Structure 1
Amino acid sequence: MLKKYTIVSLLLLLCLSCKKDLNRSDKKVLEKNRLSYVDPFIGTGGHGHTYPGATVPFGMLQVTPVNGISSWDWCSGYHYSDSIAVGFSHLALSGTGIGDLADMLFMPVNKEVDLSRKPASRDELAYKSEYSHNNETASPGYYQVYLEDHNVNVELTSSERTAYHRYTFKQNDLQTIVVDLGFAINWDQAIATAITVEDEHTISGYRFSKGWARNQKVFFTAKFSETISGFNSFADGQEIDSNSAEGVNTAIQLFFKGNLSSEVEVKVALSSVSIENAKLNLDTEEFNFDDRRSEAEASWNQALSKIAVETDIDSLKTIFYTSLYHTQLAPVIYSDKNGEFRKENDSIVRANNFTAYSTLSLWDTFRAEHPLLTLIAPERVPDIINSMLAYYETNRILPVWTLYANETNTMTGYHSIPVIAEAYLKGITGFDAESAFEAMKTTMMQDARGLEQYKKHGYIPYNLLDESVTITLEFAYDDWCIAQMAKALGKDDDFKFFNDRSKAYQNLFDHKTGFMRGKSEDGKSWNEPFDPKFSSHREHTDYTEGNAWQHSWFVPHAVTNLAQLHGGNDLFTDRLEQLFTESSEITGDNISADISGLIGQYAHGNEPSHHIAYMFNQANKPWRTQYWSRHIMNTQYNTSPNGLSGNEDCGQMSAWYVLSSIGIYPMNPASTEYEIGSPVFETSTINLTEGKTFSIRAENVSNENIYIQSATLNNEPFNKTTITHEQILNGGTLHLVMGDQPNTNWGKNQ
C-alpha cells in the first residue's frame, strides 16, 4: 500500500513538474510572439519619419541605416521608398519633422575608396551601396541588411549606451570600414571633427555640429574585433600622415587583416562630455554579437509586457505592439554612466540620483505619450522631470523642445508644464514639487514667445504675433495645469490667478462663426477675411500647422464651458460632427504638409486633433466618441510602411493608438482622468507596479460591436465615461459589454 501511494505521489509530482515546465515554455513562446508582432518598418514610409534601426527602450543610441538624402521624408535618415545606403549612424530622431542627427557614420566597404573629395550629392559618395528590402530585416533591438555593391551583410544591435555592428564580408574580400564624420543630412552641418587611431583595435574622436541642435558636441570611441592593419585618413580633403586627423570634415578608411574570419565586429559608445566618458560608456564585455542581441531582445520583452492584449486578429496585434514599441524609443538617455552631461551653454553637470534625458518633443508628447509613461514606465517619469528642471536651472525657463540638451524652441506653448502637473497630481514622486512649481510659475510669468502680449491683453493679438490663436489656447491650458498644481500645494492665490487666466480661450471665440479666431489688439475686430479651411505654414497665420477647423477645439480643461459658448451640447456636438464630415479641402498657397490623415477637416496626422473625438463624452454623447475613435483607429493605422498617417513625433502618434485601442484616452492629461472610448481587444491588461493588474474586458467586441451597452468596474455597475488614474492603479477589471447599436443612456448625465 505504501509502495502504491509512493508511485502515485511520484506521478503527481511528475505531472506538476511537467505543468511547470509547460508554463515556462508557454511564457517563452508568448515573449517570442510579442516581439514577432513588432514591425519597425511601420512608419518608415509616407510621412511617418520613423527609423528601422536597433536600440533598446529609451536607449542613448539609435544605430540605424542612413540613405543619404536630405529631404523632409528622410528626417530619420531613412525612408522605405529608398534602396541606397550610405552608412549606419548612431543617433536618430523617431518620427519628427526635423532633419538632424545621423551622427557618426560607419560603412563597411570591400574596396579602397577616395575620401578626399567632398561630394555634391549622394551619387558622388564612393562608399554608397544598393540594397533590397528582400534582404533587409528589423525587429526590436536588431537590424540587418545586405549591401549589394560591397557583398557585405550588416547586422546591428545595441545596449543602453553601446552600439554593436557585425559585418560579414565575402570570403577573401578586402575588409574595410569607412568612418565619415563630415557627413550630414538636411541642415545639420559639421563645424569641427577629429579622428584618432589609438591602437590596433581602437579609434576615438568627436563631432561638433550645428543644425536644429545649434551646439551639438558628440564624442565617441569604437573598438574592433579584428586588427587594424592600415588606414587612410583625411581632413578637409587632404590626406593626413599621422594617426590623428582634425578639421571641419574628417573621414577615415580602416583596413583589417581579415585572417581566417570573414566577420568584423564593432562596438561604439558616445558621450556629450568627452572621449574619456565615451570610453566609460563602452560596454566591457567581450565581442559576442548574438549575446548582445539576446540582451536587447530581453529588454524589449520586458518593455512590451507592460500591456498584454488578447485578440484573434494578428494585424491588430502588429499595430498595437509596434505602437507600444514606438512609444518607448523617446525620450532618450542623455547622461553618461558617471551621471555627467553637457548643457547647451557647454557647462558639464552631473545628474545626481537620476538619469538625464533629452529629445523631449513636448508639443506632441504631453498629450498621450507622457500619460502612457505614467502607466507603463512610472519609474522613468521623475528622471524626465528632473531633466527638465536641470534645463530650467540654466535658462530660468522650462524647456519647449530639447534635442541633445539644446533648446530648439520648436512649436508653441510650454508643455513641460502639463507633464510636471500630471505627474505630481498622479502621485509620482522623486522630484522636488516646490521647485517644479516655482519653475512652472516663473516660466509662465516671463515675456518670451508671446507671453508679454498674453499677459497684457488676455490673449495674443494676431497683428502682433503669428499663430496667435494656437499660442493663446495652449497658454490657457498651461495656466490651468499650473492652477491645479497650485491648488494641490495649497497655494490659493496662485490657484486663483492662473485659474482665472486659463479662461483666455473665451476671448478668441467668435459666436457668429463658431471658431476660435485671430483678434486685433483693439479687442474688437477679427482677422479678416476669414476662411476656416485656410492654412499657411508657420507664417502669416493664426494657427500652428493647421487651420481654424483643427485648432478651435483645444480647450481640454473646460469642454463643458466650450459647449456652452457654442450654445449647448446639441449645437456643440453638431459642430463636432461637421468637423468629421466637412469637405477635406485645405485652401491656401502655403498649406502645411503636417495636415494629413484627414477625416473631413479632422487631421489625425498632426497632434492638435488628437483629443477631439473624446470631447463627445463631455457633451453627453459618448456613443459618438465610441464611433469616431474606432473609425480613426480603423482608417489611420495599418501594418504597411505607410501605416502612420503623419509624423510619429517621438511616440505620440503611437501612444494615441495604444491607449485608444485598449479603450481609454487622456483628453485632459493633467486631470488624471481617462475618457472611455471603444476598445478593439477582447481583453487588455496593464501590468502595474507591485504585481497589480488592471484589465479592460470588452465582451462581444468586433468590427460591428463598437458601442458600449453596459459596464461594471470590479463587478459594480459603472455608468461613467471617465475612469481615474487612481482607480486603474488600484487594480481590477473594467468590464464593457459591446453591441452594434448605440446605447444612448449609458454614460449620460453622470
Structure 2
Amino acid sequence: MKNFTLFILFVFLFISCKEHTAESIQDKTATIKLVNPFIGTGGHGHTYPGATVPFGMVQVSPDNGISSWDWCSGYHYSDSIVVGFSHLHLSGTGIGDLADILFMPTNKKVDLTINTTSRDSLPYKSSYSHTNEKSSPGYYQIFLEDPKVNVELTSSLRTAYHKYSFTKNDDQSVVIDLGFAINWDKALKTSITIEDDHTISGYRFSAGWAKNQKVFFVATFSKPISKYTLADNQKNIDDQSVEGEKAKAQLFFNPEGGTELRVKVAVSSVSVANAKENLDSGDFNFEQAKTEAENTWNTALSRIVVETPVDSLKTIFYTALYHTQLAPVTFSDKNGEFRKENDSIVTATNYTAYSTLSLWDTFRAENPLLTLIAPDKTSDIINSMLAYYSTKKILPVWTLYANETNCMTGYHSIPVIVDAYQKGIKGFDAEKAYEAMKTTMMQDERGLDLYKKYGYIPYNLLDESVTITLEYAFDDWCVAQMAKALGKEDDYNYFLNRSKAYQYVFDPETGFMRGKSDDGKSWNERFDPKHSSHREHTDYTEGNAWQHSWFVPQDVEDLVQLHGGNDIFTRRLEQLFTESSEITGDNVSADISGLIGQYAHGNEPSHHIAYMFNHANKPWRTQYWVRHILDTQYNTTPNGLSGNEDCGQMSAWYVFSSIGLYPMNPASGDYEIGSPIFEKSTINLPNGKKFVIEAEHVSDNNIYIQSATLNGVEFNQTTISHQQITQGGILHFVMGSKPNKNWGLTIQKNQ
C-alpha cells in the first residue's frame, strides 16, 4: 500500500511538471505573438519590420527605395513598393544610413546597365500589399506581386537567412545591387566575386552619416548558380568578379530543382574571410533558424512579465520591450575582430564590441533598462566605448559602424558608465573609465573651451548654447559621482562645482533657461519660449525653451529653489502641459512631436519632466501626467509612436513607466515612482531573483497611488533604488481614482 501511494504521488508530480512545462512554453509562445514590429513603421517612428535577433549584427529588412526623413530605416508603412532586402538597418533614428548589401529575387532578366537615378528606374522593384506581409520577432514575410515571389527572412546573431518561393516554371534569379543607397549614404567602392557555383563574396565601402563605412560579405545559395551577369558603371563585365563604384550582379538558378531558393548571408567590418567565419555552418534549414531566433526572442522578452486583461496594453508593452533590444548592434566578429574609424583592426577580448550607440537618446532610459534586463550588455557597451577612447582619447558621442558622427550634444557615454558603476556592474576597468570621462570633459572640443572659460556656453559664441550648457553640467555631475566613489576628492569638488553651470543660464524673471552673452549679464533678446529653429541660430537643440528648461535631473531640489519654491515650480511645470501647443518660427524642428501643451514626448529632452513633480511635493501630478502620456502617446497601429524610436529610448520610456518606474536621473541608481498600468509586473532578474510590482485596483480611472508596501512594510517615498530592486521582493500599490496627497511627500530643504 505504501509503494502504491508513492507511485500515485510520483505520477501526480510528473503530470504537474509536464503541465507546468507546457504552460511555460505556451506563455512564451503567447508573448512573442503579442509583439507587432509594424508599430513605429508609420508616422515618425522610423522603425523597420525585418528580421534580427536581440542586438544582432545583421538586420535583414525590406527597403522601399525612398530617400526621405520618414524612410530613415529604409521602410515606411505608407509605401507599397519594395526594391530589395538589405542587411544593415537603423531602428528609429532621425538620420538615415546603412541599407547595405541589397538582395532582390526576380523572375526575369534585368538590365544592370541602366543608370538608376531613383527607385522608379530600378528594373527589379516590385509592388506589394500589407495583406500579404507579416512580421514577428526574428521573422519577416512578404509576397512580391510583380515577380510573384514569396520572400521569407530570418536571422541568427551574425547570419541572415532568405527563403524565396518562386512560381512554378518561372525563371529564378537574384539581383545584388551594391550601388543601392538611400538618404545620406553613397557607395564609393564596391566589389562582387563569384567564388564558386554556390558562393559569392564582396565588399561595399561607403560614406554617409558614417563617413568611413566598410562592409564585407559572403553569401551561399542552396542551388548552384547556372549563369550570372556582372556590371558596373553602366557596363556589363565579362569576368568572375567586378569592382567599381556601383557593382551589381544577377544570378540565375535552374527552376527544375524546385520552386524554392534559400540563401545565407553574413557580413563583417574587417574582411571577407571574417564574414565567412561569421556565416553559420550547416545546411539551409530556414525553419530551424527561425525557431532559434524566436526562442532567443522568447527568452529576451520574458525578462519582464506583465499581467493585464487588456490585450492592447500587452502588445504595446512587449513591442516596446522588443524595440529596446534591437540596438546597439553586435559589431565584433566571431573571432573578436572589428574595424575602427581609423581603419585599424583590433580584437575585443572577453567582451563583444557594439556599435550604433545613440547616446543622446539612450542614456536617459534605454541604457538604465539594460542594467536590469541585460547587465552583461552594459559592460560590453562600456568596453566598446573605452576601445573608441583608446584611439581618439575622447569618449564617443554617437557611433555608427565605429564612426563618430558627433551627432547631438553632450558626452553621454559618461552617465552610462557612471550608472553602471553605481549599480555594481562589473566587467570593465573603472579607473580607465574614469580617466576617459575626466579627459573627455577637460578637453576643448565641441564648446568645452567656452564652458571652462565662462562656466557656461555664451549664446553669441556657439549655437544651441543653453542645451549644451545644461548637458555638460549633468555630465560634470556624473564625473563628480564617479570621482567620489573612487576616492578622488579634489576631482569630486571640482566637477561638482562645475555642474552648477545651469545656474548661469536660468532667468528667474521668466522662469526659463535662456541664452546668455559672454558679458555674463545680457540675455538673448526677442525671447519667445515657443520659438524653434532646427539646429541653427538657436539656443536649444531640437526644441525650445519650454522643453529644455527642465534639464537639471541631478539637482531638482536646487532647480525648485531657483524658481522660488514648490508652488511656483509646480505651477510652471503644470503650465508646460496645459500651454497652447503652438510652435513658432520659420525653421521649426520636425523632432518636436507628441505635444501635450508644450511638452513634446516625441523627442527625448522631455522624457524625464513629468517625474519632477515627485521632487516638489506633488507626486500625484507625476502620477496624473505619466498616465496621460502612457494613454495618449502610444498605440498598436503603425503610427503607434509619437516620435522617432531612437534606438530604443522611446520604447524604454514606456517599458519603465508602464510598470511604475523611471530613471529620471539616469546616473543616480534610483528610479522614480509613477503610475503603473498593469495589475502585476515581474522583473526576472539576471541573478535569479524576481522583483514584483503589484497595482491593486488599477484601472483607467484608478491611476493614483493610495498606499504602498515593500515586502510587507509601509513604503511612503517616490523613489526606489536599483539595489532594492535587485535584492528581489514585492512592491505593492493600492490604486484609487482620487489622489492621496499625503502619499510620498518629503520635507524639502529650505522650505
Q: Same fold (TM over 0.5)?
A: yes
Determine if contact 2:37/2:319 at 8 Å carries over to the other structure: yes
Q: Write the distance in 1 (CA, Å) between the matches of 2:410 and 2:255.
A: 55
Superimposed CA distance per residue, residues 33-61 of structure 1 (whole angstroms, 9 cap, x where no aligned partner): 00011000000000000000000000000
8 Å Cα contact 1:145/1:154 also seen in 2: yes
CA distance in 2 between partners of 1:678 and 1:442 (Å):
40
Query: What is the CA deviation profile of residues 422-447 of structure 1, one whole-angstrom value per residue up to 9, with x for unaligned ones?
Result: 10011011100000000000000011
CA distance in structure 1 between the partners assigned to 2:4 and 2:485 by the alignment? 65
Partner of 1:648: 645
For residues 75-121 of structure 1, give each alpha carbon's deviation from its aligned partner in whole angstroms, at most 9, with x where no partner exists: 00000000100000000000001110000000000000111012121
How many Å separate the matches in 2 of 1:667 and 1:26?
A: 37
Aligned to 1:52, the other structure's residue is in SS state coil
* TM-score relative to the length of structure 1: 0.99
Structure 1 residue ranges, 4+ long, deviating more than 4 angstroms after superposition = 5-8
Q: Is the Cα–Cα contact under 8 Å of residues 717 and 744 in structure 2 kept in the other structure?
A: yes
Which of 421, 432, 438 is residue 435 of structure 1 equivalent to? 432
Partner of 1:526: 523
Q: Is residue 2:512 matched to residue 1:515?
A: yes
Tell me which of 706, 711, 722 is aligned to 1:709: 706
3-state SS of the aligned residue for 2:574? helix
1:271 matches 2:268:
yes
User: CA contact under 8 A between 1:226 and 1:258: conserved in structure 2?
Assistant: no
> What SS does structure 2 have at the residue aligned with 1:184?
coil
Q: What letter matches 2:739 in structure 1?
A: P
Q: Which residue of 1 aligns with 2:378?
A: 381
Cα distance per residue 1:238-277 (max 9 Å; x no partner): 1011110000001000000132311100000000000000
Residue equivalent to 1:397: 394
AA at the equivalent of 1:527: N
For residues 77 and 190 of structure 2, the distance between their equivalents in structure 1, rounded to whole angstroms, comes to: 30
Q: Deviations over 1:190-227 (max 9, x none)?
A: 00000000000000000000000000000000000011
Residue in 2 that maps onto 1:107 = 104
State the partner residue of 2:557: 560
Equivalent position to 2:482, from 459, 482, 485: 485
1:591 deviates by 0.2
* Corresponding position of 2:720: 723
> 1:42 maps to which residue?
39
Question: Is the 2:419–2:668 Cα contact (8 Å) retained in structure 1?
Answer: yes
Question: How far is 1:8 from its partner?
Answer: 4.3
- Cα distance in 2 for partners of 1:309, 1:167 equals 37
Distance 1:115 1:220 in 2: 20
> Quick check: 1:191 aligned with 2:211?
no
Offset of 1:13 from its aligned partner? 2.6
Question: What SS class does the counterpart of residue 621 from structure 2 fall into?
Answer: helix
Q: Which residue number corresponds to residue 282 of structure 1?
A: 279
In 1, the alpha carbon distance for the partners of 2:8 and 2:477 equals: 66
Shift of 1:18: 1.6
Equivalent runs, 1:452-471 vs 2, <5 Å: 452-471=449-468
| Unmatched runs of 5 consecutive residues or more in structure 1 | none
The 8 Å contact of residues 686 and 694 in structure 1, kept in 2 or not, is answered as: yes
Matches within 5 A, 1:1-400: 2=1, 5-400=2-397
Counterparts of 1:223 and 1:417, CA distance in 2: 42
TM-score (norm 2): 0.99
Show CA shifts across 1:619-673 (max 9, x none). Answer: 1100000000000000000000000000000000000000000000000011100
**Mapped partners of 1:495, 1:12: distance in 2:** 64
Distance 2:194 2:8 in 1: 65
Q: Deviations over 1:720-743 (max 9, x none)?
A: 100000000110000011000000
Q: Deviations over 1:346-380 (max 9, x none)?
A: 00011111110000000000000000000000111
**Distance of 1:201 and 1:115 partners within structure 2:** 21
Between 11-20 and 249-258, report the one with greater CA deviation.
11-20
Alignment check: 8 A CA contact 1:176 1:253 kept: yes
- Measured after TM superposition, the shift of residue 305 of structure 1 is 0.6
In 1, are the aligned partners of 2:374 and 2:686 still within 8 Å (CA)?
no
Cα deviation for residue 7 of structure 1 reads: 4.3
Letter in 2 for 1:230: K
- Partner Cα distance (1:570, 1:444) in 2: 36
Deviations 1:303-327 (A, max 9, x none): 0010000000000000000000000
Matched, 1:663 2:660: yes
Cα distance in structure 2, aligned partners of 1:186 and 1:684: 40
Q: Alignment length, in residue pairs? A: 747
Shift of 1:236: 1.1
1 CA distance for matches of 2:377 and 2:577?
Answer: 37
Partner in structure 1 of residue 498 of structure 2: 501
The 3-state SS of whatever aligns with 2:520 is: coil
Give the secondary-structure state (helix, strand or coil) at the position aligned to 2:625.
Answer: helix
Q: Which amino acid aligns with 1:343?
A: K
- Distance in 1 separating the partners of 2:211 and 2:739: 53
For residues 688 and 118 of structure 2, what CA distance do their matches in structure 1 show?
A: 55
SS at match of 1:431: coil
3-state SS in 1 of match to 2:256: coil
1:687 paired with 2:684, answer: yes
Tell me, in whole angstroms, the C-alpha distance in 2 between the residues paired with 1:132 and 1:11. Answer: 57
The separation in 2 between residues aligned to 1:227 and 1:258, in whole angstroms, is 11
The residue identity in structure 1 corresponding to 2:346 is V
Q: Secondary structure at the match of 2:671?
A: strand
| Paired residues of 2:227 and 2:253 also in contact (CA < 8 A) | yes
Name the aligned partner's letter for residue 130 of structure 2: H
For the 8 Å contact 2:205–2:213, the answer to whether it is kept is yes
Structure 1 residue identity aligned to 2:425 = I
SS in 2 for 1:576: helix
Do the aligned partners of 1:682 and 1:697 also contact (CA within 8 Å) in 2?
Answer: yes
AA of the residue aligned to 2:358: S
Q: State the alpha-carbon separation in 2 of the partners of residues 235 and 46 from structure 1.
A: 36
Distance 1:707 1:690 in 2: 32
Aligned-residue identity in percent: 72
Q: CA deviation at 1:719?
A: 0.5
Residues 623 and 744, structure 1, Cα contact 8 Å, conserved in 2: yes
* Helix, strand or coil at the partner of 1:671: coil
Write the letter of the residue equivalent to 2:290: R
TM-fit CA distance, 1:15 = 2.5
Specify which of 536, 547, 551 is matched with residue 550 of structure 1.
547
Query: Counterparts of 1:387 and 1:16 in 2: how far apart (Å)?
Result: 48
Does structure 1 residue 603 correspond to structure 2 residue 600? yes
Is contact 1:85–1:129 with CA below 8 Å preserved after alignment?
yes
Residue 478 (structure 2) pairs with residue 474 (structure 1): no
1:253 aligns to what SS in structure 2? strand
- Deviation at 1:6? 4.4
- Structure 2 unaligned regions, length at least 5: none
Q: Is the 8 A contact 2:169 2:256 kept in 1?
A: no
SS of the equivalent of 2:439 reads helix
C-alpha distance in structure 1 between counterparts of 2:7 and 2:504, whole Å: 79
- Bigger Cα displacement from structure 2, 96-105 vs 5-14: 5-14
Is residue 331–residue 355 contact of structure 2 (8 Å, CA) maintained in 1?
A: yes
What is the CA–CA distance in structure 2 between the aligned matches of 1:285 and 1:709, rounded to whole Å? 58
Tell me the distance in 1 between the aligned counterparts of 2:198 and 2:718: 61
Structure-2 separation of matches of 1:486 and 1:319 = 40
- Secondary structure of 1:179's match? strand
User: What value does the CA root-mean-square deviation take over the aligned residues?
Assistant: 0.7
1:237 Cα deviation after fit: 1.1
